[in-house]
């Protein structure tokens, strides 16, 4: 990080940070929240607009039921209590990308409250409270730069005006930049699982503002907070918070006072800067939106929405540990994205030994992907391919070494495992005398097992099959091996 205020470790240890996060998530509806214009990203500017989202006089909003459904689904996934009745309110402020002069949001009666999610910290699991989740409309987009007349004018695109958002406000339960990062990661994961948003930060479908203050350790009262806005990655939020915390401590330690203000993070410099803003900027004069009826989500509707809730990440991880006998660590890797977890489960269920599928994914697949900078979705080897290879190792048809070679070939050729295996599979030994020769050697080398078999422990045949397959480097025809072995052992 660039130059930071002088804060010795000793000084830092005397303070504890208090962080709260506000996250805006765009909902994946086809049409806007109060009109039927398209929400599609990337359309030509000002083509998905109508009198309602342009704020033309006399236009009236009509609520999109799907937006309500999605917001409630997200609220339930975040363990919120859904209020049966909530009220839309006008948040009044002037900005050119807000054509009505107010944003329709919710204020004193939000859609949902009292939620929480669990995160993993250095000292174990921790619950982070969610104060509220409410529905609101997005504003348009201001383009301040990139036009010949940008020194004189700002260009406005109102396609985004009226796109449905949920705002998720956390309790000030977050005690470090790392916890903030973890909270955002878990929150995004849950929202992705519910399918109500794609959470794409580049396209602005997920945006985060952070409130941060510090206080002497043990003090109850909060210190003065600053708000860091419009940071476009979780990593930058962590960096911005680290910078702000050090800055706060530096100011306080040198006898100064923190000014409550909004700051922007400059990722290139790793610093935050205060925004030039008028005083009194934060008097939004909320009042109930007279153009909309109260939003009523009664028990019946809530039950319908609850039925649409998918299995959530934490529950899935617990189940996968139980179902596949895999470790806590394995399950974290395998559920890093929903797509990966889905593919893995489909493959593992179809394989003879799910644990082996899990092991192969981690030991053989992940490393090769990482070395080539590929996402799991870009893997030449599908989960079905992994499952097939696992079964081949399981039956002794190929050795671990052969599997590695075959995987390398898959990556070299950009082909899935079945195709490569079909071409490269070891020539099978079907010559009876050759197999018998191996069998004789194996039996001679294992008199103890032979004795056990002849003593009636017939399952020991499995051991011999394995040894013969191993001795033939997986090339003996397994069916022949079984037949010949049985004959030989009984003789």
Q: Where on the chain is the footprint of another protein (CB under 8 A)?
A: 29-31, 35-38, 44-52, 54, 56, 62-68, 84, 87, 92, 94-96, 109, 142-144, 149-158, 275-278, 280, 283, 285, 288, 290, 292-301
Contact by Cβ (8 Å): 73, 307: no
Nearer Cβ to another protein, position 1 or 275? 275
Cite the beta strand spans of 260-314 per DSSP E.
262-266, 271-274, 287-288, 295-296
CB nearer to another protein: pick between 13 and 293: 293
CA distance 487 to 491: 6
> Which of 299/422 has CB closer to another protein?
299
Q: Nearer Cβ to another protein, position 46 or 446?
A: 46
User: Beta strand 164-170 with 124-137: parallel, antiparallel or unpaired?
Assistant: antiparallel
Could you tell me if 229 and 262 are in contact, meaning their C-beta atoms sit under 8 angstroms apart? yes
Bridge partners of residue 347, in order along the sequence: none
User: At its nearest, how many Å lie between another protein and the CB of residue 283?
Assistant: 6
Strand positions, DSSP E, 252-314: 262-266, 271-274, 287-288, 295-296
Question: Rounded distance, CA 121 to CA 101, Å?
Answer: 42
Cβ distance to another protein smaller for residue 265 or 324: 265
| Residue 161: Cβ-neighbour burial (10 angstroms; 0-12, 13-18, 19+) | buried
From residue 178, give the alpha-carbon distance in Å to each of 1, 8, 206.
16, 20, 19
Minimum CB distance to another protein smaller for 67 or for 190: 67
Minimum CB distance to another protein, residue 298 (Å): 3
Residue 188, token pair as written in the block: 């995004």
CB closer to another protein, 149 vs 328:
149
**Closest residue by Cα to residue 227 from 15, 23, 20, 2:** 20
Is 158 or 469 the residue whose CB approaches another protein more closely? 158
Q: How far is the CB of 3 from another protein (least distance, A)?
A: 25
Min dist CB 165 to another protein, Å, is: 15
Cβ distance to another protein smaller for residue 305 or 351:
305
Residues in the chain: 491
Helix (H, G, I), strand (E, B) or coil at 216: strand
Closest CB to another protein among residues 12, 109:
109
Bridge partners of residue 476, in order along the sequence: 429
In the complex, what is the shortest distance from the CB of residue 294 to another protein, in angstroms, rounded to a whole number? 6
* Neighbour tally for 243: CB within 10 Å: 24
Q: Which residues contact 409 (CB under 8 A, 6 or more apart)?
A: 415, 420, 424
Q: Tell me how far, at minimum, the Cβ of 36 lies from another protein, in Å.
A: 5
Rounded Cα–Cα distance for residues 421 and 397 (Å): 11
When the beta carbons of 262 and 399 are compared against another protein, the nearer one is 262
**Minimal distance in Å, beta carbon 173 to another protein?**
30
What's the closest the beta carbon of residue 126 comes to another protein, in angstroms?
A: 35
Q: Which two tokens stand for residue 345?
A: 């489960």
CB of 53 to another protein, least distance (A): 9
- Rounded CA-CA distance 253/15 in Å is 10
Cα 141 to Cα 45, 157, 163, 165, distances in angstroms = 10, 5, 12, 15
Q: Which two tokens stand for residue 219?
A: 């003090």
- Shortest distance (Å) from residue 98 CB to another protein: 11
- Using DSSP's 3-state secondary structure scheme, residue 374 falls into coil
Residues 125, 138 contacting (CB under 8 angstroms): no
Crossing angle of helices 177-194 and 234-253, rounded to 10°: 150
Closest CB to another protein among residues 54, 489: 54
Q: How far is the CB of 210 from another protein (least distance, A)?
A: 18
Tokens of 129: 């409270």
CB 103, min distance to another protein, A = 15
């Amino acid at each position: 990080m660039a130059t930071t205020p002088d804060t010795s470790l000793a000084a830092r240890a005397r303070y504890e940070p208090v962080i709260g996060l506000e996250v805006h998530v765009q909902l994946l509806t086809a049409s806007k929240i109060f009109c039927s214009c398209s929400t599609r990203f990337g359309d030509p500017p000002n083509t998905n607009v109508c009198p309602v989202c342009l704020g033309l006089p006399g236009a009236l909003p009509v609520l999109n039921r799907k937006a309500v459904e999605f917001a409630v689904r997200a609220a339930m996934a975040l363990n919120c209590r859904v209020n049966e009745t909530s009220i839309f309110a006008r948040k009044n402020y002037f900005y050119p990308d807000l054509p009505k002069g107010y944003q329709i949001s919710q204020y004193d009666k939000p859609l949902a409250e009292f939620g929480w999610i669990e995160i993993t910290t250095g000292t174990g699991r921790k619950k982070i409270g969610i104060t509220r989740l409410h529905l609101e409309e997005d504003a348009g987009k201001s383009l301040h730069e990139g036009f010949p007349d940008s020194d004189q004018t700002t260009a406005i695109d109102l396609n985004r005006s009226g796109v449905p958002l949920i705002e998720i406000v956390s309790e000030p339960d977050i005690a470090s930049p790392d916890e903030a990062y973890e909270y955002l990661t878990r929150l995004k994961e849950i929202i992705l699982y519910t399918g109500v948003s794609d959470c794409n930060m580049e396209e602005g479908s997920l945006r985060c503002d952070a409130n941060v203050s510090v206080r002497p350790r043990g003090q109850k009262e909060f210190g003065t907070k600053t708000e860091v806005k419009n940071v476009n990655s979780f990593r930058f939020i962590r960096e911005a918070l680290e910078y702000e915390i050090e800055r706060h401590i530096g100011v306080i330690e040198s006898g100064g006072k923190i000014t409550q203000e909004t700051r922007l993070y400059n990722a290139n410099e790793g610093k935050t800067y205060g925004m030039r803003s008028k005083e009194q900027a934060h008097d939004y004069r909320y009042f109930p939106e007279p153009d909309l009826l109260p939003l009523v989500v009664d028990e019946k509707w809530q039950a319908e929405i609850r039925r649409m809730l998918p299995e959530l990440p934490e529950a899935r991880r617990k189940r996968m540990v139980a179902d596949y006998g895999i470790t806590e660590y394995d399950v974290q890797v395998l559920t890093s994205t929903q797509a990966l977890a889905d593919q893995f489960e489909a493959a593992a269920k179809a394989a003879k030994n799910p644990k082996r599928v899990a092991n192969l994914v981690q030991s053989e697949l992940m490393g090769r992907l990482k070395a080539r900078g590929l996402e799991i979705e870009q893997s030449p080897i599908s989960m079905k391919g992994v499952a097939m290879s696992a079964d081949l190792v399981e039956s002794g048809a190929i050795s671990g070494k052969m599997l590695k070679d075959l995987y390398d070939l898959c990556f070299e050729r950009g082909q899935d495992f079945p195709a490569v295996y079909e071409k490269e599979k070891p020539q099978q030994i079907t010559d009876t005398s050759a197999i018998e020769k191996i069998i004789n050697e194996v039996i001679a080398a294992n008199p103890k097992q032979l004795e056990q078999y002849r003593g009636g422990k017939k399952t020991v045949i499995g051991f011999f099959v394995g040894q013969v397959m191993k001795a033939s480097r997986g090339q003996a025809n397994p069916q022949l091996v079984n037949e010949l072995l049985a004959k030989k052992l009984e003789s």
